[in-house]
Amino acid sequence: MSIWWLLPAVVGVSLFMTGALRRYALARSLIDIPNARSSHSVPTPRGGGVAIVVSFLLALPVMAGMSLIAWPLAWALLGAGAGIAVLGFLDDHGHIAARWRLLGHFAAAIWALFWLGGMPPVAMFGFTFDLGWFGHALAAVYLVWLLNLYNFMDGIDGIASVEAICVCLGGALLYVLLGIAGSAQATVWVMPMLLAAAVVGFLFWNFPPARIFMGDAGSGFLGITLGVLSLQAAWVAPQLLWSWLILLGVFIVDATLTLLRRLLRGDKVYEAHRSHAYQHASRRVGRHLPITLIVGSINLLWLLPIALWVGLGGVDGLLGLLIAYVPLLGLAVKYHAGELEVRA
């Protein structure tokens, strides 16, 4: 049976469900009210990311039932994704203490790693290393950090959606160019494509100026799902972990530098703020759209070619990562990632 009908179906479910969630949020007054830590100026409904969650997760048992993906991958994504989405949904509707959120995040990461088989071997300088239990612990921290940084980086209209679409398209393209589409794992490429399709339906409503925000349910779900897909890719071909880390570079560099600076300053890192480089940049230009488009351009014109270079064996993964990240670090410093906002 063809899998192509699933992609437009997922887009459609996400598109119409986001509209329904917007009406629900307006009726229940689930509105994000601008404050001193916001990057927006207009009260806007939130929680639309639930449409991404539902449309993607509904497709997983269909794929597994048709033997188009392995059930362990489906269970990893279903359990971890649904758990993080529910936790985020509850936090969107009422505050959950940071320690309980973190506990839930690690539980979801451990669930996903159990079904994936843990941390895959790491390819570096022509060698492949099995990191054992240290690798499994490192993978759990990686998944938790990725889902949290995705929440941190979802601060201006469309940026988290555009990032996810670019990363997923790059991940799918890597599978195709490596010839995975002609192997026994012929349909593994469709997983990132399905996630991209779910985000496309939501982006119709979230594109600047946004008519609804993603909310913690959607951003956390995207973070851990992208993390699981990156680890799954490394099980298919070890060098692909580096490629996915490169594709995620804009978010990883900005969020990590911002976190480190805030930690050194003694800030409460779990509190809302607007000191990321992309937030400083959007205030400088006075609009969200140019920054969101620039992020998409960096992904497609800089990070994607390097990710393909690494994935196809043209350069070592760690070296490719450094080449990709150095200019991103320069941009993050230039736009004051992690620095306090100077108010006139």
CA atoms within 13 Å, Cβ hemisphere of 122: 16
Position 344 in a domain: no
- What pLDDT sits at residue 1? 44
| pTM score | 0.95
Instruction: Report pLDDT digits (tens) over 162-196.
Output: 999 999 999 999 999 987 644 445 578 889 999 99
10 belongs to a structural domain? yes
35 in a labelled binding site: no
| pLDDT score for 258 | 96
pLDDT higher than 90, residue 343: no
Which domain range does residue 252 map to? 6-334
Task: Concatenate the DSSP letters of all residues of 32-85 into one string.
Answer: E---TT-S--S-EE--TTHHHHHHHHHHHHHHHHTTSS-HHHHHHHHHHHHHHH
Residue 302 lies in a domain: yes
- The token pair at 85 is 């989405």
- Residue 339 falls inside a structural domain: no
> What's the residue count for the chain?
344
Question: Six-digit token pair at 294?
Answer: 């620039």
Q: Is residue 158 assigned to a domain?
A: yes
299 is known to lie in a ligand binding site: no
3-state secondary structure of 164: helix
Domain-located, residue 1: no
CB 219 within 8 A of CB 151: yes
144-168 confidence digits (pLDDT tens)? 999 999 999 999 999 999 999 999 9
Assigned domain for 341 exists: no
Residue 65 lies in a domain: yes
The total of structural domains in the chain comes to 1
59 has a pLDDT exceeding 50: yes
